[in-house]
Amino acid sequence: MAAHFPRMEPAHLAFISRQKIFFNASAADSGRVNVSPRDVASLRVLNDHTVAYLDLTGSGNETSAHVRSTGRLTLMFCALEGPPLILRLYGKGRILRRGSAEYTALLAEHFDDEERAGARQIVVLDINAVQTSCGYNVPQFDYVKERDTLIRWAEKKGDEGLEQYRREKNVRSIDGFPTGWPEE
């Protein structure tokens, strides 16, 4: 049922390209484990060992705090349509802050130099293991459409409002760990 790989194979890349959603999971050495849904439209495959996604401002910044603390990060994709499959990418995460040289270069090279409203950072996963499993228990769903609520919220807030929001809500995780926002 489960199979392990040292890197993403062409079949894994094809599977990822057909998905609409993935989940990221992160944890510090103590405290809560965070699992968050993400849209695959924000994800880019950089090579067979590296993926990155453009992270939008949200109610918290748990991934940043956990990656900063331990580096541990897992991304999971599961087939909600078609043949069942679960794909997990395990590795070490890195956070590229909006406006940093690395962020700007990656945005230009892999995101057509376009930011979505509310962009706050790029999360990079350096993959050290890939696992597939059956997914036989994952129900099938019909995709309806993307939600634009977060984008509209960010557009309404504007750059100044988003910066203020991040200072109020994104500086510490729910367990009190620093996220690195703003730059320390």
pLDDT one-digit tens code per residue, 136-174: 999 999 999 999 999 999 999 999 999 999 999 999 999
pTM (whole model) above 0.75: yes
Mean pLDDT calculated for residue range 113-133: 97
Q: What is the pLDDT of residues 70-105, one digit of tens each?
A: 999 999 999 999 999 999 999 999 999 999 999 999
pLDDT-derived band at 182 (thresholds 50, 70, 90) equals: confident
Residues 6+ apart with CB under 8 A from 65: 28, 172, 173, 175, 177, 178, 179, 180
Mean pLDDT calculated for residue range 112-133: 97
pLDDT above 60 for 7: yes
